[in-house]
Amino acid sequence: MGCTAADVVAALRAAAAVVQEHRDELVRLDQAIGDADHGENMKRGFTALLSRLDAEPPDTPGKALKLVATTLISTVGGAAGPLYGTAFLRASAALGDAAELEPAAVARALQAALDGVVARGKAAVGDKTMVDALTPAVAAAEGVDGSVAAALSAAADAAEEGAASTVPMVARKGRASYLGERSAGHLDPGARSTALLLRAFADAAAKA
């Protein structure tokens, strides 16, 4: 069974609530190895998204993700805006004009998002970025032959493990890379926010 545009909008609203809830955590994580703006930037972007969802309710899952992309690109500062914007834009294109998000499309959309992030940020697994959370999420979703909720749950589980794996890494991309060895011992904020979003999507899909 697929998810309608209304289901995707509900998931995006849930994600906005999670971003709000974890704003301070993301600030602290970014304070340690970045410029301390990731939490506030993500909160600003998803708050703006809520207003746009009210004003311009999308009628397909793909259009919902495109709305996320354009909102984040225009409102989120730092590296997160372009990276997340590109991710959602590529995922939107992967879904096309389909009226429902089907289980098989989850992995396809996540792969497109990952490809967009890699193309934009030039990061690879092991660089201590959101790629370390998103890459295993794609693989996990591809291995699920079931519902949208099951695919997203597997992706979220893998993303959480991937995010945790960034703690001992030495950053090779972004502002954290300026710290060199001192970046080790800290959870990457982008990987953490990726895991948070996927968990929010998975939880919302389970309730749909």
**Per-residue confidence band for 1, with pLDDT thresholds at 50, 70 and 90:** low
Q: Is the pLDDT of residue 70 over 80?
A: yes
**Once rounded to an integer, what is the mean pLDDT over residues 177-191?**
92
Residue 2, pLDDT score:
80
| 3-class SS string, the chain | CCECHHHHHHHHHHHHHHHHHCHHHHHHHHHHHCCCCHHHHHHHHHHHHHHHHHHCCCCCHHHHHHHHHHHHHHHCCCCHHHHHHHHHHHHHHHHCCCCCECHHHHHHHHHHHHHHHHHHHCCCCCCCCCHHHHHHHHHHHHCCCCCHHHHHHHHHHHHHHHHHCCCCCCCCCCHHHHHHHHHCCCCCHHHHHHHHHHHHHHHHHHHC
**Per-residue confidence band for 35, with pLDDT thresholds at 50, 70 and 90:** confident
Q: Is the pLDDT of residue 179 over 90?
A: no
Q: Is the pLDDT of residue 152 over 70?
A: yes
